[in-house]
Amino acid sequence: MNDFFIRKSSELHIDLNDVQKQAVVQTEGPLLLLACPGSGKTTTMIMRIGYLIEENNVNPKRIKAITFSKASARDMTERFKRFFPQHSPVDFSTIHSLGFAITRTYMTKIGVSYELIEGGGKGRPALNKTQMLKTLYKQVFRDDCPEDELNALSTFISSLKNRMTPFTEWESIQGPFDKAGEIALKYEQLKTKTEGHLLLDFDDMLTIAEQALRVDDHLAEQFRSRYDYVLTDESQDTSLVQHRIVEHLVAHHGNLCVVADDDQSIYTWRGADPSYLLDFKLVYPDAKLLLMEQNYRSSKEIVETAAKFITRNKDRYVKEMRTDNGSVGPILIKQFDDQKRQLDYITYELLAEQDLQDVAILFRNNASSTLFVNELHRRGIPFYMKDADDKFFSHWVVEDMLNFMRLSFNDERKDIFSKIVMKMNLFLSRTMLNEFLNRETTGNVFEAMIDTVQLKSSQIEKLNDYKEVYKKIPTMRPAQVIRMIRYELDYEVAIKSRAEKFGFRFESLLAIMDTLEGIASQVRTMVEFAHRLKELEEAVQQAKFNPPANALTLSTFHSAKGLEFKRVFMIDLVKGTIPSDEDESDPLLLEEARRLFYVGMTRAKERLELLSYRESNGKTKEDSRFVNEVRAIMTKSDRIENIEKPTKKKTKQVTEVNPNGISDRKALVVGMQVSHHVFGKGEVVEIGEDTIAIRFGKVEKRLSLELILTRRLLEEVNA
């Protein structure tokens, strides 16, 4: 045994700790290996496979390694080749790939043909899941299915299948919106309506595979007999049906190594089942349990704070994450006036960064990325999109805004008018709109509708008001137009009603409009605005699939799992975002949200910044309860105050106004020597419309001019 580790230390310069070595040599029977963030789990798994081959003389083809994603499968395949190039390849694959192999074999055996309705492949399927769900949604609601509703419905169906929920219960389970269960059931009925032929989505590959292994002993033996050892990675993200497939595979020999971290289980919304790990010994009574608690990634401060933070969760294995890494500096917690100040701060920090590939901006919701994409693209800062949020640019709110603008170029366009008139808070019926569209009309659409449709006096009055508003729009800049659409054309009121009807999060819709307004503020015409949106959409695709060198990473917390960076900004950490209002209402969801926050924290190696803001959409925002928890840990408070109901602090520290500070813009000139109350002596190198650039030693800072002048933060000094 020791010879193996000595040999690999010499060949690969890999030295495992005692627990990692135990995980490598504990080859027989079931093993649950709980691996804290940054504990070297992938290296340990590859070394375990190498040990099986070199020390136990196991044929590589008799080893099956199951991963959560294609990227993980590729990474493990490449790492195995690098560590053990002399050996034949091991069977690394995703659980879906394995499920499809079993399903394909079973379908052939029982004589049932099938057609895949998800994914790529040769040719395009005659039917696809997205179109089927849109059609069923329209049949039920007599309305088009918005993109966010479609995504929620698809995730809901996936969750039902992964939890192995019987069809008889689908309609009674609360979905993302009313009648989601009904649509889900209709979808399954549609897929199986042709006798002897099935339409299969990705999740069907799992449910049918599990069924095949359960009911067909001969087929089950066919797949069981292929492998003597099975390993599963990222098992905290594995659903019940996926666990069941693995159970069937190892039923005879029980040689299963499950690598997981219950503290990083963040996918229960799509069917992952972290409780399975907590009940592992109920399924495998003879299982061994090992804890990999040594973190090799992060600084002392980050590891110790994150380790204490996650202990507030109750449904978990007790672990003590620790590190021998040194101190780098405290976690920084910053609260800004608004999102614009947060954006400015990060942008100026990035301008001073040399190694952007070691920096990440992490967020809960993809919508948070668009303002950053706009600013980074405008300033030429290279970035990589871990999650390409092209859905933002096709969102129905964005399309509505563009249609409102398009109508201003030609107020006789009935086709454009028909797309937005139902969102003008007019309380029109679909019958009224159809009557208008079916009538031959000319001229201004507002006047034409008044003349051709029987309306209430209140509706006529509003249409006349809207007509007057449209007379003003052509002379306005895009940001003004968006505000006019929101408030004078009553769009915001209308979508609030729509949000209540369909279960949308109104705050998310407001955030989209705020983002559009921020982008619009930097262009002069509506045509430029439309071009800018198209340009940003293309930039997002470019950043996702062909990112430039030395690019910083933009990612959701979910997609950042498994990654690491020297510096991490966690943004938009406000109540209602993380945790969301829904998270706050359910203890299990709240624990998952805390795990998600923990995942974000543990991506950072040296510098971690937790950022929030005080105001959005004219409303006061409170810090996330998780920020308060971290703050309490850092201040070594015995109790965490204001977590349930944060209140405003009675006192607020402010910088005293310097009586000698510069308050007049005209007093500032390029080249002058100044002193800043925080950064010390510097030289003014540029004065912009809203910002001032000052070089302090070797570092250049770009600061808010308004803040500098109103608070008199600069004082002229002699050279």
At residue 646, the pLDDT reads: 35
Provide the pLDDT confidence category of residue 678 given band limits of 50, 70 and 90. low
Is 145 known to sit in a ligand binding site?
no
Question: Please, what are the domains in the chain?
Answer: 2-97+207-294 (3.40.50.300), 113-195 (no CATH), 332-382+548-634 (3.40.50.300), 396-529 (1.10.486.10), 665-716 (2.40.10)
Cβ(322)–Cβ(293) below 8 Å: yes
Cβ(306)–Cβ(601) below 8 Å: yes
Cβ(384)–Cβ(552) below 8 Å: yes
Provide the pLDDT confidence category of residue 388 given band limits of 50, 70 and 90. low
What is the spatial order of strands in the sheet that 604-613 belongs to?
Answer: 332-336, 604-613, 565-570, 359-363, 552-556, 383-385
The tokens describing 618, both together, are: 């004219």
At residue 40, the pLDDT reads: 94
pLDDT for 293 beyond 90 = yes
- Mean predicted confidence (pLDDT) in 381-385: 92
- Global pTM value: 0.80
Distance CA 240, CA 257 (A): 17
Is 35 known to sit in a ligand binding site?
yes
What Å distances lie between residue 596 and 198, 299, 570, CA to CA?
A: 37, 20, 12
Is 42 known to sit in a ligand binding site?
yes
Distance CA 11, CA 5 (A): 10
pLDDT tens track for 471-518: 999 989 999 999 999 999 989 988 888 887 766 778 788 888 988 998
At residue 641, the pLDDT reads: 36
Q: Which of 117-131, 199-213, 667-681 shows the lowest per-residue confidence on average (mean pLDDT)?
A: 117-131
Cβ(603)–Cβ(565) below 8 Å: yes
Is 37 known to sit in a ligand binding site?
yes
Distance CA 121, CA 103 (A): 17
Closest by Cα among 50, 36, 63, 59 to 5: 50
- Mean predicted confidence (pLDDT) in 32-39: 96
Provide the pLDDT confidence category of residue 655 given band limits of 50, 70 and 90. very low
Provide the pLDDT confidence category of residue 81 given band limits of 50, 70 and 90. very high
Cβ(287)–Cβ(31) below 8 Å: yes
Is 257 known to sit in a ligand binding site?
no
At residue 112, the pLDDT reads: 94
pLDDT for 680 beyond 90 = no
The pLDDT > 70 percentage for the chain reads 94
Is 587 known to sit in a ligand binding site?
no
Distance CA 482, CA 487 (A): 9
The tokens describing 86, both together, are: 């002399």
Q: Which of 11-25, 144-158, 198-212 shows the lowest per-residue confidence on average (mean pLDDT)?
A: 144-158
The tokens describing 74, both together, are: 């590729």
pLDDT tens track for 110-154: 999 999 998 765 555 567 899 999 999 999 988 888 777 888 899
pLDDT for 639 beyond 50 = no
Cβ(591)–Cβ(553) below 8 Å: no
Closest by Cα among 371, 208, 291 to 26: 291
At 554 the three-state DSSP class reads strand
pLDDT for 650 beyond 50 = no
pLDDT tens track for 588-607: 999 999 999 999 999 999 99
At residue 122, the pLDDT reads: 55
pLDDT for 643 beyond 50 = no
Q: Which of 47-61, 231-245, 503-517 shows the lowest per-residue confidence on average (mean pLDDT)?
A: 503-517
Q: Which of 12-26, 121-135, 202-216, 225-239 shows the lowest per-residue confidence on average (mean pLDDT)?
A: 121-135
Q: How many helices (H) and strands (E) does the chain have?
A: 30, 21
Per mean pLDDT, which of 163-177, 387-401, 672-686 is the most reliable?
163-177
Provide the pLDDT confidence category of residue 647 given band limits of 50, 70 and 90. very low
Characterize 215-245 residue by residue with b for buried, 16 or more Cβ atoms within 10 angstroms of its Cβ, and e for exposed.
Answer: ebeebbeebbeebbbbbbbbbbbbbbbbbbb
At residue 120, the pLDDT reads: 63
Mean pLDDT of the chain: 89
| CB-based contacts of 674, cutoff 8 Å, min separation 6 | 662, 681, 682, 683, 684, 694, 714, 715, 716, 717
At residue 495, the pLDDT reads: 87
- Mean predicted confidence (pLDDT) in 26-51: 95
pLDDT for 676 beyond 90 = no
Provide the pLDDT confidence category of residue 648 given band limits of 50, 70 and 90. very low
Q: Which of 50-64, 263-277, 356-370 shows the lowest per-residue confidence on average (mean pLDDT)?
A: 263-277
Is 39 known to sit in a ligand binding site?
yes
Q: At what angle do helices 339-351 and 369-379 cross, to 10 degrees?
A: 40
